[in-house]
Amino acid sequence: MWADILPRTPKRWGARCEWHGVSMSAPDYSIRAVQRVCDIIDLVQHHPEGLSLPEIAMASGLPKTSAFRYLCTLEERGYVERTETGDYIVGIALHSERLDILAQRAEPHLSQLRDEIGETANLGMFASGRIVYLKIVESRRQLRNSPHPGDRGPIHSTALGKVLVAWRPQDAVLELLVENGMPASTANTITTPEAYLVELAAVRSQGYAVDDCEDAPGGRCVAVAIRGSRLPLAMSVSAPASRLRPDDIPAVAAALRKAAEAFGAATEMVATDRATTDRPTTERTADRSL
């Protein structure tokens, strides 16, 4: 159906381009800036382990300042993301199919977690300065705290946001806070960068994050990061604060950690197999190089 509606893609033959039977010189219609953007996206896609700014600049032949500007724009649009170490990986805008698969594979782990704890279990991802809910398995109870797949949330007031940025460089975190602000959703919301950095230090120390009625009144949430995935993913359990009490948090965090480790191990194996089969043979046998 789409083939009958959309214009046909131009065919490239060497240095010439054919469009609806009209032959033309390809360079006349080549936009250098677009080519550079495509080059950078191709680079990042072929290196799922991530590339640093100097590596991208060197491989693309661009000055670091120019490469950085392109990458900033791509990051704003969700085509690339920065990892905890500052490397660039493919962003959510190019992941739609993979994210659907991840959500499907996470469902059994989330369902088991929901049944064990009795509360809503969530899978989230850091993207473009916010967290995105990818999969939610709702509590069977009538009163529950449940976002919806595709919903976005701030990093400063959600447990998912805290745990997904806790290990990022401090300068990068502060930049995110400046860009997105720290509006107060409740009386408990952390609204200053200084207090937030103290909170992130606690997250790193204990290995999990807590939203203590900070994002929504009467709602409490616990989250842990998923290790092993090349994407910035985390799992959380959310519930009314009356049912998820402070004394329950360590046990919930332990259950979350177990589920996240199981899902992360499965995700790592799938990603490794896919990266091996997707890359050309010459790349699979060569060392990482540009």
What is the CATH classification number for the domain harbouring 268?
Answer: 3.30.450.40
User: In terms of Cα–Cα distance, which of 257, 260, 262, 212 is closest to 238?
Assistant: 212
Same domain, 89 and 177: no
Residue 128 belongs to some domain of the structure? yes
Name the residue range of residue 43's domain.
2-94
Q: What are the mean pLDDT values of the chain's consecutive 10-residue runs (290 residues total)?
A: 32 44 54 90 88 93 92 84 83 72 90 96 91 93 77 95 94 92 97 98 97 96 88 93 96 96 75 42 34
My answer on whether 107 and 163 are in the same domain is yes
> Does some domain include residue 290?
no
What's the pLDDT score for residue 29? 64
Strand order in the sheet with 233-240: 152-153, 130-137, 120-127, 233-240, 219-225, 209-212
Residue 288 lies in a domain: no
Nearest-angstrom CA–CA distance, 88 and 124: 19
Residues 63 and 139 in one domain: no
Distance CA(72)–CA(78), nearest Å, equals 10
- pLDDT score, position 21: 52
Is residue 222 in some structural domain?
yes
Boundary residue ending a domain (48, 76, 94)? 94
CATH number at residue 80: 1.10.10.10
In a shared domain, residues 213 and 103: yes
pLDDT recorded at residue 96: 63
Residues 257 and 133 in one domain: yes
HSE, CB side, 13 Å, CA atoms: give it for residue 276: 7
Residue 53 shares a structural domain with residue 14? yes
pTM of the model: 0.68
Same domain, 7 and 49: yes
Residues 197 and 235 in one domain: yes
The pLDDT, as a whole number, for residue 275 is 43
pLDDT number for residue 76: 76
